[in-house]
Structure 1
Amino acid sequence: MAFVDFLLSLPLLQTSLVLLVILIVGLYIFLTVTTIRKPNLHRYDSEKYFLTGNGDERRPFPELDDPSSLSLSLIVPSYNEETRLPSMLDEALAYLEQKKKDEGGSFTYEIIIVDDGSKDGTSKVGMEYTKKYGHEKIRVLTFEKNRGKGGAVRMVRIFKKTEIFEAKNFPMQGMLSSRGKHLLFADADGATRFSDLTKVESALNKIAPDENTPAISVGSRSHLQDDAVAERTFLRNFLMYGFHFLVWFLCVRGVKDTQCGFKLFTRSAARLLFPSVHIDRWAFDVELLYIAQCLKISIAEVAVNWQEIEGSKMVPFWSWLQMGRDLLLIRLRYLFGLWRIKEKSN
C-alpha cells in the first residue's frame, strides 16, 4: 500500500515513467529466467553417424568447418513425410542427375534427409534411396526425438531450476553435416519446383562469386500473394498480413517472403549463421534472416513456382500465433543482449 500511495502522490508523467521502468525491469527478469543464452549444438551419439546402406555399417558425418568437397548439399527436413518424400526426391534427383550430365561430371551433389523423430517410415524411405543411389549421394540423419518445425513439440531438459532448454531446429543439423560448396534446404513436400534451383543459384552467384563470400538466395512466393488472398478466408488473410507486418516491424526488412522453404547458402554464410540460430520452430527462417541482416550478409530474393501440397504440419491459427510470439521474443532477446550473434566462423 505504501508503494501505491507513493505512486499516487507523484505527477502523472513521473508515475508513467516509474511504471515503465518497472515494466522493463520485470520483462528483462522474465526473459533472463526463461532464456538459454547459447544455441544448443548437442547431438546424441547416434545422430553423428549415417548408414551406408550396406548392412549396418556406420560412418561419421563430416563437419561444416571442413573444406567443401561437393558442389551442392541438399538438406531435406522431414517429419512424418513417408508419403510425400518420394515424389520430392524423385524430382530433385532427376534435376540433379541431368545437371551433372550437362556439366560433364564437374557438378557433384549430396542429399541429406533429416528425419526429425518421425513416427512413420520416413527414415526407411530415405534408406531405400541410399541403397539405390549410394551413400555418397544420399544420406539419412535420424533424430532420436522430435525437435520442432514438424509440429509444436520441443525437446525439454532441465539445466537449472529456472532454465528451459530449447532444442536446435533440425535443418541446422543437416547443414552442420554437409559437404557442399553451396547448401540448399528444401521442404520435403515438394511444393517448390526443384528446377527453380537454376534461378536461385544464378542469383546467388551474382552476389557471391565463391563459397568464401557469405550470401543467401531465397525462393519467394510473394508474386503469388494476390491469388492466395483471393482464395483464403478473411481470418487467414488477417493472420497472414499481421505476420508479415510483425516480421517487417520487429526483425527483417527488404525480404517479402521469409517462410518459403527453398533457401540456398554459400558455405561461409552457413558457417556464420547456423551456429547462432536459437529458434526451433516455424519462426526459424526469420531469425536466420535477421542474423544475416545484422551481419550485413547479402540476400537475393527470387520468385519461384509454388503449389500447396496436402498434408501440411501447420495448424493455421495456432501456428500463426506461435510465430508471432516467437518474433517478439527474437527481437527482445537480441535487444536485451540475451542472445548474441557469432560474428566470425571458426
Structure 2
Amino acid sequence: MSLLGLLLTLIYYGLVCFVLVLTILCIVLKISSTPFPIIHRHKEEEYFIDPNDSDKKCQFPSINDDPTVDLSVIIPAYDEEKRLPVMLEECMEFLEEKLKQEPNFKYEVIVVSDGSKDKTVACALKYSKKYTCEKFRVLELVQNRGKGGAVRYGMMSSRGKYLLFADADGATKFPDYNLLEKSIYKLANSWKDDVLVIGSRAHLEEESMAKRSIFRTFLMHGFHFLVWIFAVKGIKDTQCGFKLLTRSAARRIFSIMHVERWAFDVELLFIAQSYKMQIDEIGVRWEEIDGSKITPFFSWIQMGRDLIFIWLRYQIGAWKLKPVKAD
C-alpha cells in the first residue's frame, strides 16, 4: 500500500472512530441529562442569619417575587477570608456613598460562601452585623458547588430590580459599576426588560490597561476561540466576573442554567443570545490578584470540556430552553 493510501485509510478510520465516539457521547448525554435543572437546595440554605437579633434565622426571598430593593450584589466566595475584606470595603464604601447621593436608593449584598472551610462566613457576618441584614446577607452553602452554582443560588435568593455578580477577589474595581448601570438604564425601560450588561477586560487590553500574565493571556485567547466556535458570538470577554442583569433576565436565565463550574458564564451568555436578549459589553478596570482559585492549565482544560458539553447537550436536546411566553 502506498503512503498516500495508508494516509487516506488512517484518516477514514479516524473519522469513523470520531463519529462513533461522538454518537455514543450524545446518547450518554441525552440519557444522563434532564431537560431542566433540579435545584437540590438544603433546608438550611434557605435561611440567612441576623447577627443583630440573637442570630435569628430568616428565610431568603425568591427571584420569582417582585423586587423590593434597587440593586442586589451577589459575591460568590470560596475560602476567601483573606481577599474578601478588601473587596467588601471598596464595595460597601461605594454603595453607602451612592445611598448618600440618592436617598431613595436601596441595595443588598449577598455573600455566597461556596462550602468554604476557612473563616469566610465569619468574615462576611461581621459586615452583616455592621450594616444590618437588610443591606448585607450571608448565604452559606452546605457543600462546594462551584462559582456558577454559588452565583445561581445568590441570584435565586435576591430582591433587586437589577442584579450584579462580582468576584470576591476585587480584581474589578467596584466603582466601575457606574458604567454598567449607565448602560443598562439606557437599554432597559425597567427591570421587566431582558437586558444583560457585562464587564470586559478585552476593551482594557486594547488600551494596555489590564494586567495579566502571558501564560494566562494565551490560555484565555485559546478558550475564547473555542467559545466563538461552539457557543457565543460577538462577545470579546465572556469570563469577566462583573455582570449586571435586569431581574427579568436573571429570572429567565438562572432558572434553567445547568453548569456550576467556571464555564457557567458561557452558558449564561448562550442562553441570553438564544433568547435574543440585549447584551452590552463595557470595558472595566481589572488587575490580576494573587490567590486565584483557577489553576491555569487544568482549569482551562475543564472549561473547554464543559464548553463542548454545553454545545452538545443543547444541540441534541438533552438541555432545552423554556419557550418564551407570548405577551
TM-score using structure 1 length: 0.85
Shift in alpha-carbon separation, 1:102–1:17, aligned structure 2, 3 A:
closer
Structure 1 residue 208 corresponds to structure 2 residue 206: no
In structure 2, the partner of 1:96 is: 95
In structure 1, what residue type is equivalent to 2:125? M
Q: Any stretches of 5+ residues in structure 2 without a counterpart?
A: 1-11
CA contact (8 A) 1:229 1:237 kept: no
Q: Secondary structure at the match of 2:48?
A: strand
Of 295, 316, 321, the match for 2:301: 321
In structure 2, the partner of 1:49 is: 47
In structure 2, the partner of 1:192 is: 172
* Percentage of matched positions with identical amino acids: 49
Give matches, 1:17-166, under 5 Å.
22-53=20-51, 54-103=53-102, 105-149=103-147
Structure 1 residue 277 corresponds to structure 2 residue 257: yes
Once the two structures are superposed, residues 144-168 of structure 1 have per-residue CA deviations (whole angstroms, 9 ceiling, x without a partner) of: 111113xxxxxxxxxxxxxxxxxx7
Shift in alpha-carbon separation, 1:231–1:282, aligned structure 2, 3 A:
closer
In structure 2, the partner of 1:6 is: none
Query: 1:215 and 1:236 mapped to 2: Cα distance?
Result: 30
In structure 1, the partner of 2:8 is: none
C-alpha RMSD over aligned residues: 2.3
Aligned residues: 315
Once the two structures are superposed, residues 162-201 of structure 1 have per-residue CA deviations (whole angstroms, 9 ceiling, x without a partner) of: xxxxxx7111110011001100000011111111011101
CA contact (8 A) 1:32 1:338 kept: yes
Once the two structures are superposed, residues 73-109 of structure 1 have per-residue CA deviations (whole angstroms, 9 ceiling, x without a partner) of: 0011000011111111111111111111111x11110
Q: Secondary structure at the match of 1:276?
A: coil
Q: Any stretches of 5+ residues in structure 1 without a counterpart?
A: 1-13, 150-167
| CA apart distance, 1:214 | 0.6
CA contact (8 A) 1:295 1:343 kept: no
Give matches, 1:253-332, under 5 Å.
253-332=233-312
TM-score using structure 2 length: 0.90
Q: Secondary structure at the match of 1:216?
A: strand
| CA apart distance, 1:56 | 2.7
In structure 2, the partner of 1:5 is: none
Query: 1:229 and 1:109 mapped to 2: Cα distance?
Result: 29
Query: 1:214 and 1:224 mapped to 2: Cα distance?
Result: 26
Shift in alpha-carbon separation, 1:82–1:236, aligned structure 2, 3 A:
closer
CA contact (8 A) 1:41 1:275 kept: no
CA contact (8 A) 2:191 2:247 kept: yes
In structure 2, what residue type is equivalent to 1:85? L
Query: 1:44 and 1:195 mapped to 2: Cα distance?
Result: 34
In structure 1, the partner of 2:6 is: none
CA contact (8 A) 1:221 1:304 kept: yes
Query: 2:86 and 2:210 mapped to 1: Cα distance?
Result: 28
In structure 1, what residue type is equivalent to 2:183? A
Q: Secondary structure at the match of 2:255?
A: helix
CA contact (8 A) 1:272 1:343 kept: no
